[in-house]
Amino acid sequence: MIPRPFEYRFTVQLHDTDAAGRLFFAHLFRHAHDAYEALMREIGQPLPPMIAAQTLLLPLTHAEADYLQPMQHGERICVEVEVLELRQRAFSLDYRFLDAAGRLAARARTVHVQIALEPGSARSLAPELRAALEPHLAAAPTE
Amino acid sequence: MIPRPFEYRFTVQLHDTDAAGRLFFAHLFRHAHDAYEALMREIGQPLPPMIAAQTLLLPLTHAEADYLQPMQHGERICVEVEVLELRQRAFSLDYRFLDAAGRLAARARTVHVQIALEPGSARSLAPELRAALEPHLAAAPTE
Amino acid sequence: MIPRPFEYRFTVQLHDTDAAGRLFFAHLFRHAHDAYEALMREIGQPLPPMIAAQTLLLPLTHAEADYLQPMQHGERICVEVEVLELRQRAFSLDYRFLDAAGRLAARARTVHVQIALEPGSARSLAPELRAALEPHLAAAPTE
Amino acid sequence: MIPRPFEYRFTVQLHDTDAAGRLFFAHLFRHAHDAYEALMREIGQPLPPMIAAQTLLLPLTHAEADYLQPMQHGERICVEVEVLELRQRAFSLDYRFLDAAGRLAARARTVHVQIALEPGSARSLAPELRAALEPHLAAAPTE
């Protein structure tokens, strides 16, 4: 069983920081994507063969982040990833970056749209992709 | 005279791309920040001495981007930067990434909040910073 | 007991690759540095407090790498790190990048020189740093 | 006429630096590759179509750098690029990173080997590539 929310951990490395002594904001998205790759691998939808075969691509159409606390060199961060929305041909993910004390240091969101490189296909998300993502949908419908 | 909107140009380098053959989404933010650094230099508010002296920091509290067209290796991109909003202690910037044909390939936005490291100061944006940013406000003169 | 050689593992992420479909060469050095940071943490000489306190710096004076096999998106790589040489005021590290089949995909080397920011000190490596690195010296003198 | 040595300029950006306040060593190689891409474009051998068509690849087999002076955020750096050696199926490039005062801050070297993806071809460097690189051979008084 994959825990829910899915957790991905990393340590803020020297190259993540800048001369201001904090994680450079753009690198947060690199870590968010690493968490996304880890989730996809866990749910049996690994990106590398998809991208190598070029049958299906899931490019980002939107990305955003809110920075609440600076992340320092050496900090251990836990990223909680959930599926925020599953739509016809797209899905969005929510990432919560928690520091060692469990405080929310940053939050990010990415939106992915399925592009099929073979014509005629893919008016909607691949069924096995949808089925794999569904258990990771954030919270209940009433929320 | 600095043209309005401020323009910053770059070429998509090999390291900007990924195995899917396009600019990796997180690198757009790196280029947005380069454009921001270039604008700040042009308007007489260069970041390097600010960060080195640590008297004033302008960390990002929010960043977002919309990706409309893939950007390929070797493409020459023009980034148009404008100030979207000037607030009491924060400002936001808008970045339009245009390809060689002038098509909008991506759009980004960053929000910066002034943090003064010396106590008692900086309830509001430094006056010379505000004055330098004002001519680059996107909006109309009546606003 | 820390195994010898010290091992650090990573997966080649999408952002590590470029449009040619392989790990972009410069990113190998980023991973080498991550392995170095992990080793230093393991041997009780973590870099973050050193850099934050600025009492001691260990900047690189040299870095090099040989690329033997392309590393693809999704590959799991094991980096074996050993101390190649311990000198008066410097040390060098050797990194072997092994793919899942144990084949050598790349090799790297970094040289670090100790700089003391307080005058009068540090004509030689800090004794506790030297003692911590010694057990990781590569192989015997007869090699 | 392309000046000799070929010159490529960049400014050290915030994301080039790390918490120690200097250019992070691995990023030097990113800039070296940007200089290489710029040289190849200038001499009529641009990398993007080569990589997109995958007829010819010039992967690096070796990279190295010596770091002589720290490069700070905001510094303007000039990279002088020369061809160090032209061999049967490989070539090497030399990069000198000069600061605004003309002091050598770092030096790098990359070795590239031609790989032809079509069988039967390319036992030697493509003639037009060789001809384009030759004028940039580093002076060789005795050679």
Chain A interface includes B10 (CB < 8 A): no
Q: What DSSP assignment string belongs to B19-64?
A: TTSSB-HHHHHHHHHHHHHHHHHHTT--HHHHHHHTSEE--EEEEE
Cα–Cα distance for residue pair A7/A80, rounded to 1 Å: 5
Helix (H, G, I), strand (E, B), or coil: what is residue C60? Answer: strand
In chain A, pLDDT over 70 holds for what percent of residues? 92
Strands of chain A, DSSP E? 6-11, 56-57, 60-67, 76-86, 90-98, 104-113, 115-116
Q: Is the pLDDT of residue B140 over 90?
A: no
Separation of alpha carbons D3 and D14, rounded Å:
30
**pLDDT greater at residue A41 or residue B3:** A41
Q: Which of residues 30-69 of B touch A (CB under 8 A)?
A: 30, 32-33, 48, 51-52, 57, 59-68
Cα A113 to Cα A131: distance, rounded to the nearest angstrom: 16
Alpha-carbon distance of B116 to B56, in angstroms, equals: 5
Per-residue pLDDT, averaged over A33-41, amounts to 98
The CA distance from D112 to the nearest CA of chain C, in Å, is 10
Of the pLDDT bands very low, low, confident and very high (cuts 50, 70, 90), residue A142 is very low
What ipTM was reported for this prediction?
0.93
CB contact under 8 A, B52 and D13: no
Q: Do A19 and D15 touch (CB under 8 A)?
A: no
C-alpha to C-alpha distance for A7 and A98, rounded to whole angstroms: 10
Average pLDDT, chain C: 92
Burial class of residue B9 (count of CB atoms within 10 Å of its CB; 0-12, 13-18, 19+): exposed
Q: Are C28 and C70 in contact (CB under 8 A)?
A: no
Binning pLDDT at 50, 70 and 90, where does residue C142 land? very low
D19 touches chain A (CB under 8 A): yes
pLDDT band at D3 (very low <50, low <70, confident <90, very high): confident
CB contact under 8 A, A15 and D24: yes
Statement: residue D54 has pLDDT above 70:
yes
pLDDT tens string B78-130: 999 999 999 999 999 999 999 999 999 999 999 999 987 666 556 789 999 99
pLDDT at A121 (0 to 100): 59
Task: Categorize the per-residue pLDDT at D121 as very low, low, confident or very high, splitting at 50, 70 and 90.
Answer: low
**pLDDT(C143) > 90:** no
Please, are residues A10 and A31 in contact by the beta-carbon 8 Å criterion? yes
- The closest alpha carbon to D18, from A77, B49, B16, A23, belongs to A23
- Is residue B60's pLDDT more than 90? yes
Q: Does residue D16 have a pLDDT over 90?
A: yes
CB atoms A20 and D14 under 8 Å: yes
Confidence (pLDDT) at C56: 80
Whether D90 and chain C come into contact, CB under 8 Å, resolves to no
- Amino acid, res. C21: G
Q: From the CA of A14, how many Å to the nearest CA of chain D?
A: 6
Confidence of residue C120 (pLDDT cuts 50, 70, 90): low
pLDDT of residue A16: 98
Give CA–CA dist B116/B114, Å, rounded: 6
